[in-house]
């Protein structure tokens, strides 16, 4: 089987992290976002992953070469010279996806984090005999999204309603699809939307089905959702393989600590924290609802909450970092500095407090 991952463009919503790495290579729970997807695809027998990309493909490919060998999976790029939306990339990669076997292929949005129930999706797709299956997830506020209206008994999609004013349903497109190769014949090589143009056409032919995604789902393409996604991911990890989570007197709730990280005395860590490889957390540090990426040093008695600390940054003694502060790569926060929602570009030194949310160039 094959899969196409829609990587897309510049990842502006996750800046300043995406100034250092393309968005799919930004760490989530201690490994690049896209690797969560590739590993799950490999588990259900996918042998080739095509990345649809229009920004820095060489960085992606060089990085993922290592994982090709480790996972035993082929990873190739299909590069857009102009943004082609969410359907155009399928037409561009048609030769890679349609190999004559007739096997369906996966299409994923690279920002989506979930439990990736791909085996159940394959089973459901084969049973209904339609042309395409989309995964849907239930949301509390459907009026903010495009809602998928479906037949509950069979899962057949009847129509799509964009940001409904009255309640028509609470299921939205989760950005995970399994498509027959015949779908490629419906797509022209031009900028086009799979959600707005291709799927409604298949639904009109009564060949589109939806499966409700079990477990959690999050689009982690922006900081607040990234932090929420981490909480949901760690909750799921607690249920599935709790042994991977940290334990001890200094740990509260769900915490993921890389084996090479060092944690000092008298710390209080959690809930919902990921600490990456090579990090040093000195004595008396307090961490909650945050991600600390590879090679970060957090000095004594610093306090970090609801924030993302980018690679190889330093947080000084008694510093306080909170309210969706994002430090880009190699940012150095001096001792006793306070950041309230500061967004700091890479390679900066912060000597004075950031008292209200702002971007520090």
pLDDT category, 58, cuts 50, 70, 90? Answer: confident
Q: Does position 142 have pLDDT exceeding 80, yes or no?
A: no
SS3 149: strand
Question: What's the pLDDT at 103?
Answer: 87
Query: What pLDDT, on a 0 to 100 scale, did the predictor assign at position 10?
Result: 63
Evaluate if residue 99 carries a pLDDT over 80: no
Q: Taking the CA atoms of 54, 56, 58 and 60 in sequence, report the sign of the dihedral they define.
A: negative
**171-186 residue pLDDT tens:** 888 889 999 998 888 8
Please list the residue range(s) of the chain that carry CATH number 3.90.550.10.
2-219
Is the bond preceding 16 in cis, omega lying within 30 degrees of 0?
A: yes
H or E element at residue 359: strand 359-360
CATH 2.160.10.10 placement within the chain: 229-359
Is residue 296's pLDDT more than 80?
Answer: yes
pTM for this one? 0.87
190: exposed, middle or buried (C-beta count within 10 Å: 0-12, 13-18, 19+)?
Answer: exposed
Phi first, then psi: give them for residue 119, nearest 5 degrees: -65, -45
Residue 151 has pLDDT above 90, yes or no: no
DSSP 143: G
| Between 235 and 72, residue with greater pLDDT | 235
Q: What is the dihedral of CA 335, 336, 338, 342, to 10 degrees?
A: 0
Give the model's pLDDT for residue 9: 64
Q: What is the pLDDT of residue 306?
A: 96
Superfamily of domain 2-219: Spore Coat Polysaccharide Biosynthesis Protein SpsA; Chain A (3.90.550.10)
Mean pLDDT of 127-137: 90
- Region 232-258: mean pLDDT is 92
Between 139 and 341, name the one with better pLDDT: 341
CA 227 to chain centre: 11
- Rounded Cα distance between 164 and 146, Å, is 7
Please state which CATH number belongs to domain 229-359.
Answer: 2.160.10.10
Confidence of residue 313 (pLDDT cuts 50, 70, 90): very high
Residue 47 gets the label, from left (phi > 0), alpha (psi -120 to 50) or beta, of: alpha
DSSP annotation string for 21-84: S-GGGSEETTEEHHHHHHHHHHHTT--EEEEEESS-HHHHHHHHHHHHHHHT-EEEEEE-SS--
Percent of the chain with pLDDT over 90: 49
Poorest-confidence range of 71-75, 175-179, 225-229?
71-75
Dihedral, CA of residue 320, residue 357, residue 114 and residue 133, to nearest 10: 180
């Amino acid at each position: 089987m094959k899969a196409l991952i829609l990587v897309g463009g510049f990842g502006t919503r996750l800046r300043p992290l995406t100034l250092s790495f393309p968005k799919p290579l930004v760490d989530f729970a201690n490994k690049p976002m896209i690797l969560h997807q590739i590993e799950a695809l490999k588990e259900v027998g996918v042998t080739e992953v095509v990345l649809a990309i229009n920004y820095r493909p060489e960085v992606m490919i060089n990085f993922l070469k290592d994982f090709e060998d480790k996972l035993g999976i082929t990873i190739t790029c299909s590069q857009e010279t102009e943004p082609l939306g969410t359907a155009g990339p399928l037409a561009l990669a048609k030769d890679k996806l349609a190999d004559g076997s007739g096997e369906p292929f996966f299409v994923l949005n690279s920002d989506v984090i979930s439990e990736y129930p791909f085996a159940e999706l394959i089973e459901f797709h084969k049973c209904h005999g339609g042309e395409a299956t989309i995964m849907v997830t239930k949301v509390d506020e459907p009026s903010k999204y495009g809602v998928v209206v479906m037949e509950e008994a069979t899962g057949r999609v009847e129509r799509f309603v964009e940001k409904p004013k009255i309640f028509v349903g609470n299921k939205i497109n989760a950005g995970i699809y399994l498509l027959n190769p015949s779908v490629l014949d419906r797509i022209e090589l031009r900028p086009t939307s799979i959600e707005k143009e291709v799927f409604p056409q298949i639904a009109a032919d009564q060949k589109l089905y939806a499966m409700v995604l079990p477990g959690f789902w999050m689009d982690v393409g922006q900081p607040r959702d990234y932090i929420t996604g981490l909480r949901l991911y760690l909750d799921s990890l607690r249920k599935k393989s709790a042994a991977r989570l940290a334990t001890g007197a200094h740990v509260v709730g769900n915490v993921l600590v890389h084996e090479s990280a060092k944690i000092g005395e008298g710390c209080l860590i959690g809930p919902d924290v990921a600490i990456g490889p090579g990090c040093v957390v000195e004595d008396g540090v307090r961490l909650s609802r945050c991600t600390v990426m590879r090679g970060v040093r957090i000095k004594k008695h610093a306090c970090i909450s609801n924030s993302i600390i980018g690679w190889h940054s330093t947080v000084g003694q008694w510093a306080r970092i909170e309210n969706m502060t994002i430090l880009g790569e190699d940012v150095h926060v001096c001792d006793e500095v306070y950041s309230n929602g500061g967004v700091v570009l890479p390679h900066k030194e912060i000597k004075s407090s950031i008292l209200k949310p702002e971007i520090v160039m």
